[in-house]
Amino acid sequence: MSGIREAVVNGQTTLGIELGSTRIKAVLIDSSYKVIASGSWDWENQLENGVWTYSMEQVREGLQGSYKALKEDVKEKYGVTLTKIGAIGISAMMHGYLVFDKDGKLLAPFRTWRNTMTAQAASELIELFQYNIPQRWSIAHLYHSTLNGEAHVADIDFMTTLAGYIHWQLTGEKTIGVCEASGMFPIDPATKQFNAKMLDQFQALIADKNYSWKISEILPKVQSAGEVAGRLTEAGARLLDPEGDLEPGIPCCPPEGDAGTGMAATNSVRPRTGNISAGTSVFAMIVLEHELKKVHEELDMIMTPDGSPVAMVHCNNCTSDLNAWVGLFKEFAETFGMEIDMNDLFGKLYNKALEGDADCGGLLAYNYFSGEHLTGFEEGRPLFVRTPDSRFTLANFMRTHLFTCLGALKTGLDILFKEEGVEADEVLGHGGLFKTKGVGQKIVAAAMDVPVVVMETAGEGGAWGIALLADYMKERKDGESLGDFLADRVFAGEKGEKVWPDKDDVASFDEFLVRYTEGLAIERAAVEHLH
């Protein structure tokens, strides 16, 4: 304890903050990469005028709230006030649309990754670039705004992401990490910068609009892991810590998105490695050995934080519907006067799923709280469906909902593994789906047909991942790659728990996917008729 206290006093620590979809988390790590203090702030997006958004007041309040909780944790544990920090990293949900005028004024409400209104824009850009542009990417939102003739577009001076915005407020620097950048606009793997040819193509596409700006001028600077991306200014220090204790001048790493921090937190930055993050949304990423044979709208091409190509399957929906059902079971129990711990309830219900029939008893569910681009839905309706002769048991019910958490994801994974022949030695699992030991792993291994590893550090999440990237910037030796830093220093000796795919489970998930695909017409009818 005295050693940690001394490290805190002398600023021999690193701060990582990640703004997730439901929680903002701040962690402080020491020189052995262990979390020594943390703080969090819960928040939720709002659906306003058909747009999923967070207000900038929420962003500021949540940023300060999570840091204050961390600061209080430090004070309680070590008896000192946090004033000095060795390095800072900021991360947040990737993609979305944040645009500002020359005075730094926000021109339109923040549009998050969850929005699926840019189908036409994304389709036209895919045709133009011959490169997949998902609906949630920043460039799709920008082009959507131009197609709609939105007046604010003419006044844009700067476009960034949520992580890029916060980093800008803290340091004054308009820059982002290469992984985060790859979710705004395509990156050229050779230069690790925005693709120059596509920038020119986009500029020509909107030439008739006669905007005063050029796309290359309003995008942020792109930096790779290990580079210094600015220092905490006096104003930035007061933004983060209004109480005035935090000292400015702290070096900051390039801000990254949750994909990049997930790669860092799971040691998945080298070719043939991968990770799957399963919580409110779900995405799987595989670092590629070579480029894909063709463009697939189901597969996103992004970068590792140090600029290696990654194929990503991303789905908007994962555990929200499942969590709602577990909440219903809790309410049922409380009606009978039973006090039930949520972790215990999740654990028992998840394990119950392992007792279910291989084919889930013929049950079917869709977890679409919001639209799901991978299966062609702009809106979602959570559904549970069965036939009169389905085997309607609790075990089959839970198994079905765990399977459907990965249903849309499996659609994209089959393209990656079966059509493109991409191979992975193993994938690292992290997120809420993996909290109950062994269950989420077993289901994911069946869906991916790849061994799934969960490490003890998996629960640390993206805030820890961005802290590691900040540490890499602070500590890297000459010629030391990010992969070497993670493998040789951070994860040295950590093996984790590995679950191999069960042949029968793989076959049963394939069978479930047939029913899932055929039943999409039911989901379509619900969207069209249930308002």
pLDDT at site 455: 85
pLDDT at site 290: 86
Residue 379: how many other CB atoms lie within 10 Å: 17
User: How would residue 281 be classed by pLDDT, with cut points 50, 70 and 90?
Assistant: confident
Asked whether residue 486 is domain-assigned, the answer is: yes
Percent of the chain with pLDDT over 70: 99
State how far the Cα of 345 lies from the Cα of 520, in Å rounded to an integer: 30
Neighbouring-strand partners of residue 497: 454
pLDDT beyond 90 at 461 = no
Q: Both ends of the chain: CA-CA distance in Å?
A: 57
User: How would residue 280 be classed by pLDDT, with cut points 50, 70 and 90?
Assistant: confident
Neighbouring-strand partners of residue 168: none
User: How would residue 496 be classed by pLDDT, with cut points 50, 70 and 90?
Assistant: confident
Please tell me whether residues 391 and 327 are part of one structural domain: yes
Neighbouring-strand partners of residue 15: 28, 88
pLDDT beyond 80 at 433 = yes
139 is in which domain, residue-wise? 95-160+185-218
Asked whether residue 309 is domain-assigned, the answer is: yes
**Contact yes or no for 222/181 (Cβ under 8 A):** yes
Asked whether residue 280 is domain-assigned, the answer is: yes
pLDDT at site 521: 98
Please tell me whether residues 210 and 284 are part of one structural domain: no
Please tell me whether residues 312 and 433 are part of one structural domain: yes
User: How would residue 498 be classed by pLDDT, with cut points 50, 70 and 90?
Assistant: very high
What digits encode the pLDDT tens for the residues 79-132?
999 999 999 999 999 999 999 999 999 999 999 988 889 999 999 999 999 999
Rg of the chain in Å (alpha carbons): 23
Which residues make Cβ contacts (< 8 Å) with residue 10, sequence separation at least 6?
84
Asked whether residue 78 is domain-assigned, the answer is: no
User: For residue 404, which of 274, 275, 317 has the smallest C-alpha distance?
Assistant: 317
What secondary structure does DSSP assign to 242-290, as a single string? TTS-S-S--BBPPPEEHHHHHHHHTT--STTEEEEEESSSEEEEEE-SS
State how far the Cα of 403 lies from the Cα of 514, in Å rounded to an integer: 12
215 or 1: which carries more pLDDT confidence? 215
Please tell me whether residues 486 and 370 are part of one structural domain: no
Q: By mean pLDDT, which of 9-23, 163-177, 220-234, 282-296 is the weakest? A: 282-296
Which residues make Cβ contacts (< 8 Å) with residue 409, sequence separation at least 6?
282, 283, 284, 313, 315, 374, 447
Please tell me whether residues 512 and 459 are part of one structural domain: no
Q: By mean pLDDT, which of 72-76, 157-161, 217-221, 417-421 is the weakest? A: 417-421
Q: State CA 165 to chain mean position distance.
A: 17
State the amino acid at position 61 in one-letter form.
E
DSSP-based three-state secondary structure for 17: strand
Q: Given its phi and psi angles, is residue 267 left (phi above 0), alpha (psi -120 to 50 degrees) or beta?
A: left
State how far the Cα of 474 lies from the Cα of 11, in Å rounded to an integer: 12
Which regions of 304-346 does DSSP assign to beta strands (E)? 309-315
Asked whether residue 138 is domain-assigned, the answer is: yes
Structure tokens, 503: 């042949």
Please tell me whether residues 400 and 271 are part of one structural domain: no
State how far the Cα of 348 lies from the Cα of 491, in Å rounded to an integer: 31
Burial category of 304 from C-beta neighbours within 10 Å (exposed 0-12, middle 13-18, buried 19 and up) = buried
State how far the Cα of 264 lies from the Cα of 247, in Å rounded to an integer: 27
Percent of the chain with pLDDT over 90: 88
Number of domains observed in the structure of the chain = 3
Asked whether residue 9 is domain-assigned, the answer is: no
Q: What is the CATH number of the domain that holds 120?
A: 3.30.420.40
Please tell me whether residues 104 and 200 are part of one structural domain: yes
User: For residue 89, which of 13, 37, 192, 7 has the smallest C-alpha distance?
Assistant: 13
Average pLDDT in the 231-239 region? 98
Please tell me whether residues 430 and 491 are part of one structural domain: yes
User: For residue 255, which of 230, 236, 280, 273 has the smallest C-alpha distance?
Assistant: 230
pLDDT beyond 80 at 303 = yes
Structure tokens, 120: 């036409």
Please tell me whether residues 333 and 421 are part of one structural domain: no
pLDDT at site 459: 62
Structure tokens, 427: 């994938």
User: For residue 214, which of 197, 202, 228 has the smallest C-alpha distance?
Assistant: 202
What does the mean pLDDT of the chain come to?
Answer: 95
User: How would residue 2 be classed by pLDDT, with cut points 50, 70 and 90?
Assistant: confident
φ, ψ (nearest 5 deg) of residue 273: -100, 165
State how far the Cα of 13 lies from the Cα of 432, in Å rounded to an integer: 27
Asked whether residue 110 is domain-assigned, the answer is: yes
Helix axes 394-404 and 503-518, enclosed angle (nearest 10) = 80
Please tell me whether residues 356 and 395 are part of one structural domain: yes
Structure tokens, 167: 């980093």
Structure tokens, 496: 């984790």
Average pLDDT in the 284-300 region? 91
DSSP-based three-state secondary structure for 497: strand
Please tell me whether residues 471 and 508 are part of one structural domain: no
pLDDT at site 458: 62
Please tell me whether residues 400 and 425 are part of one structural domain: no
Asked whether residue 136 is domain-assigned, the answer is: yes
